[in-house]
Amino acid sequence: MLVAFSLLAISLSFLFFKRPPSTWLAYLRQNAPPPTIDTEHKPSQPTANREAPAVEPSDNQTSRRASRGSSSEGTPKVAPKDSANGAVPTFTLAAHESSDEDDEDNLPPPSFPALNSAQRASAPSPTIAMPPPPKVAPMAPPARPASSLMPPPTLKASNLRALPTPTQGLRVPTTGPLPNRGPVPNRGPPASNGGLMPTATVKTPNSRGKVLLSPGHSPLDWANLQRSEKNLAGVPSLLRVTPAMLKENNGRKGKPAWSSYEGKVYNLTPYLPFHPGGEGELRRAAGKDGRKLFMEVHPWVNWDNMLGECLVGIMVTEEQARPTSTLEDMD
């Protein structure tokens, strides 16, 4: 139906316009039926020999058919028409189409990637040499402003600081104690030895008050000594220690150095040569409650672990330590 209508429209257009508008031709190109290939058809054969269509084709239509039918034998040619006979000048779209198709078939395969593709643009091309970059002229140093707002700095003798003389600024390093490396402040001189044990530590003042322990008195040596079966407490069994007893065992005059810590009494005497802070520091806690001094210096140290084998007993009051004579006193 559409084809019949279009053919009718083209015939009318030839009557009125001598040639159809180009939009009609495009329409016809889209809706034209597929060409029937007649192998026996020769281009020179007259169109009258062909089977008559249902609708009487115009001259143009006939030429189109002829062109399409001969596409298998070569490029179709426009059938020449005699304009003197009053015939409409003919043109064929089929000739263009068939020639285009043939040309496309004969074309070499498209190059990949495409010539104007991004792949080709990014890929290094060994044949196409990049032109050398244009030489950039070196930048000239910035020109000094003709009239500077800031006046040039003037060098006054008063602005110059005197260079340190060798006696003032540059000191010859000494071999003596360095600053801030002296003994721990507010600690006072070390207490007397008391004659209990020989001094095993050597005083080497440093910022933390540590001392150089004598050989065989390292923390590891102390740990080994604690693991041994030696009686480090110095008592046959745990005692009830009164404040008077604690005060009496202060490490002097041949007596052991006891110190209390949270209600428990320890014998510091065997630990004296192992104390990293020195014997003198440790003796300051002898004969009294040493918790406050201890926590001031090294709260991170575990007292119980360090002196577990040196436990003497527990602190009791004088009342609690008095032996009971009668059952009434015990109540």
Residues interacting with ligand HEM, by CB under 6 A?
184, 208-210, 259, 268, 275-277, 281-282, 284-285, 290, 293-294, 297-298, 301, 303, 306-307
Q: How far apart are CA 196 and CA 215, in angstroms?
A: 19
Q: How far is the CB of 169 from ligand HEM (least distance, A)?
A: 34
| CB-nearer residue toward ligand HEM: 32 or 232 | 232
Q: How far is the CB of 216 from ligand HEM (least distance, A)?
A: 17
Alpha helix (H) residue ranges in the chain: 2-17, 22-31, 59-69, 93-106, 118-122, 219-227, 243-248, 279-283, 291-297, 303-306, 318-321, 327-330
Q: How far is the CB of 309 from ligand HEM (least distance, A)?
A: 12
**Structure tokens of 48?**
């009258």
| CB-nearer residue toward ligand HEM: 76 or 278 | 278
Instruction: Report the residue count for the chain.
Output: 331
Q: How far is the CB of 283 from ligand HEM (least distance, A)?
A: 8
**Cα maximum dimension of the chain:** 164
Task: Provide the b/e sequence for 33-55 (b: ≥16 CB within 10 Å).
Answer: eebeebeebeeeeebeeeeeeee
| CB-nearer residue toward ligand HEM: 307 or 312 | 307
Q: How far is the CB of 307 from ligand HEM (least distance, A)?
A: 5
| CB-nearer residue toward ligand HEM: 7 or 257 | 257
Task: Determine contact, residues 280/220, Cβ cutoff 8 Å.
Answer: no
Nearest CA among 278, 266, 277 for reference residue 306? 266
Q: Which residue is nearest to ligand HEM (CB)?
A: 277
| CB-nearer residue toward ligand HEM: 76 or 290 | 290
Q: How far is the CB of 282 from ligand HEM (least distance, A)?
A: 5
**What does the angle CA 91 – CA 92 – CA 96 come to, to the nearest 5 degrees?**
125
| CB-nearer residue toward ligand HEM: 71 or 269 | 269
